[in-house]
Amino acid sequence: MVGLATMWMEPNAVSVVCLSLWTHARWTMVAHHACHGGYNRIAGASRYSSRRFALGSVWRRAIDWLDWMLPEAWNVEHNNLHHYRLGESADPDLVERNVEVWDEMGANKDLSTIFSMLVWKWYYYAPNTYKELKVAEFRRQGRPLPAGFDPQRPATLVN
C-alpha cells in the first residue's frame, strides 16, 4: 500500500521499491502457488485454481497476473519442463548453461548477476517461457521444429 500511496509524489525510491516488492511478492506467493495448484482444494478459492487463475480472457489475465509472462507459457516452462527435469540438461532454467555467455564474454560475474536481477524477467524469462510454449505446441501437433532451431538454447530479446 505504501507504493500506491506514494505514487503521486515525484519519482522516489520508496514508491519504486514498494511497488516492485509488491509485484514480485504477488508473483512468487500468489501466482506461483496458484499455477502449481496450491489453492485447488481450498473451499471458496476457485478464482485461484490452476485451471482458472489468469486464464480465459484479457480481463482475467490483467486482474490475476498483470505480468510480462503468459501464464500458459509459464505453466509449460516451469511446471512441465523445469520441475520434471530439475538440474538436467533439458531443464530450461539450468543456470550453468544459461550463464555460459558470461564466461564467453569475459564478463564480471558479480556485475552480470546484479544486472540480470534487474532485467531477468522481461529479458530472459518471458521470451523463454513463450518459446517453450510454442515448442510444446509444435510437438503436440506433430510438426517438426524449424531447421537450425536449438530447443535447448535460451530465447532472449537479443537472439
What are 135-155's pLDDT values in tens digits?
999 999 999 999 999 888 888
| pTM assigned to the model | 0.80
Average pLDDT of span 36-40: 92
Average pLDDT of span 42-47: 89
Give yes or no for residue 40 having a pLDDT over 80: yes
Helices (H), the chain: 2-5, 13-25, 32-35, 58-64, 71-74, 95-98, 100-105, 109-120, 126-140
Contact between 50 and 36 under an 8 Å Cβ cutoff? The reply is yes
pLDDT digits (tens, 9 = 90+) for 95-107: 888 888 888 999 9
Q: Please tell me the least confidently modeled range out of 8-12, 72-76, 105-109.
A: 8-12
User: In the structure grid, which three cell numbers stand for residue 57, read together?
Assistant: 480472457
Query: How many Cα atoms sit within 13 Å of 23 on the Cβ side?
Result: 14
